[in-house]
Amino acid sequence: MYDKFIKFLIFIQILIIFYLGFIIVKEKIKNKPIKEEIGVYKNYIEKLEQENKKLKEKLEYLSDPENLKKDMKEKFNLVEPGEKVIILPQNF
């Protein structure tokens, strides 16, 4: 009788171990897409941080009035009063 009880307890323990193993594998499979999505978001955040850094550098550069004036002249072909624009031919 005692021997059958010990075998029954061992059988129950084995079932519990297999059940816990099944739950662990199931959770790992469920978490895999979530981990991949986290990786995608981390890359996106890194890209945004780089872009933010570039924008801060540009803002700092354009905060200087001389740099702002230079940038406006280059982008919009602006001239100050008294300045003359010289246009060179393309094959010069």
CA torsion 54→56→57→60, rounded to 10°? 160
Q: What is the mean pLDDT of residues 46-66?
A: 96
Q: How far apart are CA 87 and CA 3, in angstroms?
A: 105
Name the one residue in this structure whose structure tokens are 């803002």.
59
Q: How far apart are CA 83 and CA 77, in angstroms?
A: 12
Per cent of the chain over pLDDT 70 is 99
For residue range 5-50, what is the model confidence (pLDDT) as tens digits?
999 999 999 999 999 999 999 999 999 999 999 999 999 999 999 9
* pLDDT(84) > 90: no
Q: What is the pTM of this model?
A: 0.57
50 vs 75: which has the higher pLDDT:
50
